[in-house]
Structure 1
Amino acid sequence: MLTIHAADEVRLVWGSGDSVKGGAVAVEGARVAAVGSLAELTERFPGARVRQWPGGVLGPARVHDGPLPDAPTPRERIHAVLKSGAVAVLEEHADTAELRAAAARNDVAVLPRTRPTAITENGRADLAVFDEKGECMATVCAGRLVHRRR
């Protein structure tokens, strides 16, 4: 099912000033189908489910570039990364078979080094929404909503 994620502001590149006020990202499967204003995307995809993230800034999900958070199990360590708005970890910190397996089960990318993140049409749908305090409200990993703060 196609889902449109909309926020007060959509940042296309992490940390950049390039943004779309009242923007939205259409996600189909694990890929970004389109980026634009909410009005444009709801007209282009009339049957899509719309998820509104009021008060938030939607942008590309982050790469977690430090040690993974402490937690009792590898699954919980990976979930803590997802709750932070990251969908990728560095291989030097995913240093056990159990951590790599937990990452793979959740579509979390294991990278040899950090890289810039961006929202691009036909790119992998890795998105995060942050509130005005910089806290993660939601994380979308490979098109799936994997974290939502209530």
Structure 2
Amino acid sequence: MRTLHAASLLRLTLDDEPRPGHAVLVTGDRVEAVAPLEELTGAYPEVRVRRWAGTLGPALVHDGPLPPAPTPRERVHALFRLGAAAVLADHVTDPALRAAAARNDVAVLPAARPPALVVGGRADVAVFGADGTCLATVVAGRLVHRRA
């Protein structure tokens, strides 16, 4: 299923200039296109559109220990509330925590890499408010966090 994620502004990388009126087309767990919203809705008139307040961009790579929580599952979900979709392998050495990360499609990376939205790449997307608060997180094309 295709989903179009749109916000007032879009960044392809964390330090990219924000692009007004752009959106990300996600098919399955991949980014299919990044283009102006009007162009994508014209090309895919039946696509489901999720409109977000804030700035849409790549989900973060968490480069420290996972936030504390009572269970491994809750620790992983705490990442999603931060806008992260990836973590460094050094911080998920506990088998239960690694299993929870795998069940939730968290990318476990051997080394840090700058997050980016890339056509054909994994659909890890986050939306951040003006104050830096994560409003929504999409991991491998699946909405896993939405601020109420």
TM-score by length of 1: 0.96
Residues 23-102 of structure 1: pairs in structure 2 closer than 5 A:
23-54=22-53, 56-102=54-100
**Which runs of at least 4 in structure 1 moved beyond 2 Å after TM superposition?**
none
User: Structure 2: which amino acid aligns with 1:78?
Assistant: V
Unaligned 5+ runs, structure 1: none
Alignment counterpart, residue 126 of structure 2, candidates 125, 128, 131: 128
CA distance in 1, matches of 2:93, 2:119: 32
Q: CA deviation digits over 1:89-111, x for unaligned, max 9?
A: 11111011001100000000111
Seq. identity, %: 60
2:4 aligned residue? 4
Q: 1:116 Cα shift? A: 0.9
1:141 aligned residue? 139
Aligned residue-pair number? 148
Residue aligned with 1:92, SS: helix
Q: CA deviation digits over 1:50-85, x for unaligned, max 9?
A: 00002x000000000011100000000000001110
2:107 aligned residue? 109
Unaligned 5+ runs, structure 2: none
CA distance in 2, matches of 1:67, 1:91: 10
CA distance in 1, matches of 2:109, 2:71: 21
CA distance in 2, matches of 1:60, 1:82: 13
Asked if structure 2 preserves the Cα contact closer than 8 Å seen for 1:20 and 1:36, the reply is no
Asked if structure 2 preserves the Cα contact closer than 8 Å seen for 1:129 and 1:136, the reply is yes
Residue aligned with 1:121, SS: coil
CA distance in 2, matches of 1:17, 1:84: 20
Q: 1:19 Cα shift? A: 2.9
TM-score by length of 2: 0.97
Residue aligned with 2:78, SS: helix
User: Structure 1: which amino acid aligns with 2:8?
Assistant: D
